[in-house]
Chains A and B, each alone.
Chain A
Amino acid sequence: MSRRVRMNSHLRPPTTVSVAARPGFLARRHRSYYLFVVPALVVVGAVIIFPWLFTAWMSAFDWKIGTTAHFAGFDNYVGLATNQRFLEAIVHTFYFTALAVVVPLVLGLAAALIFHREFPFRGLLRGVFTMPMMATPVAVALVWTMMFHPQQGVLNYLLSLFGLPPSLWVYSPTWVIPSLVLVEIWHWTPLVMLIVLGGLAALPTEPYESARLDGASEWQLFRYITLPLVAPFLVVAAVIRTIDALKAFDTIYVISQGGPGTASETINIYLYLQAFAFYNVGNASAVVVVFFVIILALALLLLYVRQRAKWTG
């Protein structure tokens, strides 16, 4: 495939019939494949790339819907850096994310080890276990709201069965974020489980056999063989979980609306209020940009950790 041939060949509609008849059609063909992508690129350009650019542009304006926009340069960003409520929202987001990543990772790993073994009704039970993952978040959030109810909720009743005192759940400023994380754990642990289960399925059996011959205990097998081998899958799960936890919106919005007060107001909730309660689109756009940078930074950090683990391991 010479470079010249490819450059001389002009874009042709994918309906041309005689491509194969001429020499160099293999090279030319390469080009026509790009035509297949054009319709999707148009759509993606309109609904995905355009909003990105428009957002970046809007973030430089002091702009409320219904008023005229004033150019503000970096004022919105400077404002955010000193905005107590926004900074608290970042803290809430990190707190929520840390819990909503670590706990599902640990539980998901445990669940994967369980489902990796053979037992009766395994397929059925795995299906039941993974049901929360696809359930409509808003519907699930409504049921949890009813379960969290301090007087009539079923959760406090269950606590009482174990002799535990009732909790205020999402009505307590201290417990609201852990309670919301509980919903997140319930919702997304199955995804971690499935990712890790995929990793376990690919494990070789030889190391286990020789380690057993050498008298290794079950714990040693797990610690020194299983864990290092599924570590890459755990990192993938951690990246996905981090992105999703940072972006969590539906359940928080439905269950607590960021309350009580602003105790569970995450960046996403703050962003929603700025944009669609106060129609402060300039400021909201700046929040989007900062938010996106945070997500990107954390995702890259995790990928970097994975790369380093690969090089050293």
Chain B
Amino acid sequence: MSTAALPMAARAGRARLRRRLRKIAFALSVAVIVSPAILVFFWMLSLSLKNEIDNLAYPPVFIPDPPTLRNFVQVFAENSMGLYFWNSIVVSGFATLIALAVGIPAGYGIARAQAHKLTVLVLIARMTPALSYLIPLFMVFQFLGLNNTLTALIITHLVITVPIVVYIMAGHFETLPKELEEACQIDGGSVWTSFRYVALPLARPGIVVGTILAFIFSWNNFVFGAVLAGRATRTLPAAVYNVLTFEQLAWGPLAAAALVVTVPVLLLTIVIQKEIVVGLTHGGVKA
């Protein structure tokens, strides 16, 4: 505290002014850092709800007037967006299910056997560019005649889903107390029994996070679908990209398609807000 010899009233007034200015500056900085996110998503929504004339107008039209759903109708009716949506659900769904089937026990094993060296694999997998899996797998699928099939896509997506589920589950099982399982085993239960009936039910929250993150990362993947899928087996991101380059669609339907891809992910994100960081830094080093 400074002990300036100012009259009390003047000092209080100045302090109030300074506090108010500071508040305004703070509000402004909040607005500045949040606005880019709002701008892009708002623009996506705006483009998808406007007709083509408004979309190409300059200066740009921000609020759709009147809003139209024609763009959505067009992508679903003329560009089989429904099929691609289904493909994405099948690929991400199965890749996630398989990852859970092998990843949950693996996470448990790693946590209880203290085999932390195995998670180094996850870290290295995180660092490897996706394309480096794609080239060998592409050749194997070609040899097996699996290119252009959903099966090939599901197998490839395991590259994404398995490490994340293993990592999340290992971390989660580590936080569970060992005593309950030990009690179960002293009562004659096997390791399997204590996993199945003691640890697994307790791991529910971890499983939810692992499932959602694996699904989102798989859903967002573009390059696997772009290379391995055929016309009828494209996943959404690959389809949206191909719609852009090969069919030269107008901006409205394109924005509508982009929105259809992103909205499910954003909805899932709301469910696991807090755990996202763990997911995105997975394999990455703890502080």
Contacts and interface: CB of A to CB of B under 8 A. Distances in A.
B7 interface: no
Contact of B136 (A34, A58, A254): A58
B86 interface: no
A147 interface: yes
Contacts, number: 291
A20 B188 contact: yes
A143 B36 CA distance: 13
A109 B254 CA distance: 34
B136 A243 contact: no
Given A139-B262, A191-B280, A299-B127, A47 B40 contact: no
B49 to A, nearest CB: 14
A65 B26 CA distance: 59
B190 A138 contact: no
Given A40-B162, A138-B237, A239-B285, A296 B38 contact: no
A144 B277 contact: no
A200 B62 CA distance: 38
B118 A37 contact: yes
B203 interface: no
Contacts of A146: 43, 47, 251, 254-255
A16 B189 CA distance: 9
Interface string B103-137: 10110111011010010010001111111111111
A263 B37 CA distance: 27
Interface residues of A, number: 98
A274 B153 CA distance: 21
A291 B129 contact: yes
Contact of B109 (A34, A284, A303): A34
B190 A19 contact: yes
A142 B112 contact: no
A190 B38 CA distance: 13
A119 B30 contact: yes
Contacts of B285: 236, 239, 303
Given A43-B158, A127-B270, A194 B276 contact: yes
B89 interface: no
By secondary structure, the A interface counts as: helix
Contacts of B251: 146
Interface string A126-152: 011111111111111011111100011
A292 B106 CA distance: 26
A254 B240 CA distance: 10
A129 B166 CA distance: 29
A175 interface: no
Contacts of A303: 285
B175 interface: no
Contact of A292 (B103, B112, B128, B268): B128
A208 to B, nearest CB: 16
A39 interface: yes
Contacts of B159: 47-48
A114 B127 contact: no
B209 to A, nearest CB: 13
Nearest to A275: B135
B98 interface: yes
Contacts of B56: 152
Contacts of B26: 114, 117, 119
B33 A107 contact: yes
Contact of A133 (B33, B158, B222, B276): B276
A129 B33 contact: yes
Contacts of A107: 33
Given A35-B109, A127-B273, A281-B139, A157 B59 contact: yes
A152 B58 contact: yes
A268 interface: yes
Given A36-B106, A129-B33, A191-B277, A139 B192 contact: no
Interface stretch (A49-57, A78-86, A95-103, A219-227): A49-57
Nearest to A25: B185
Q: List 10 A-B pairs, minimum CB-CB distance, nearest first.
A: A36-B109, A40-B106, A139-B258, A33-B113, A14-B192, A54-B136, A51-B136, A36-B105, A138-B237, A288-B132
Given A18-B190, A20-B187, A132-B40, 13 more contacts: A16-B190, A33-B113, A36-B105, A37-B115, A48-B128, A48-B162, A114-B26, A131-B41, A152-B57, A154-B60, A240-B281, A249-B130, A254-B241
Interface of B: 1, 26-27, 29-30, 33-34, 36-38, 40-41, 43-44, 47, 55-60, 98, 101-103, 105-106, 108-110, 112-113, 115, 118, 121, 125-139, 142, 155-156, 158-159, 162-163, 166, 185-193, 195, 216, 219-220, 222-223, 227, 236-238, 240-241, 244, 251, 254-255, 257-259, 261-262, 265-266, 268-270, 273, 276-277, 280-281, 284-287
Interface of A: 14-21, 25, 29-30, 32-37, 39-44, 47-48, 50-52, 54-55, 58, 65, 107, 110-111, 114, 117, 119, 125, 127-140, 142-147, 151-152, 154, 157, 186, 190-191, 194-195, 198-199, 215, 232-233, 236, 239-240, 243, 246-247, 249-250, 253-254, 268, 271-272, 275-276, 281, 284-285, 288, 291-292, 295-296, 299, 303
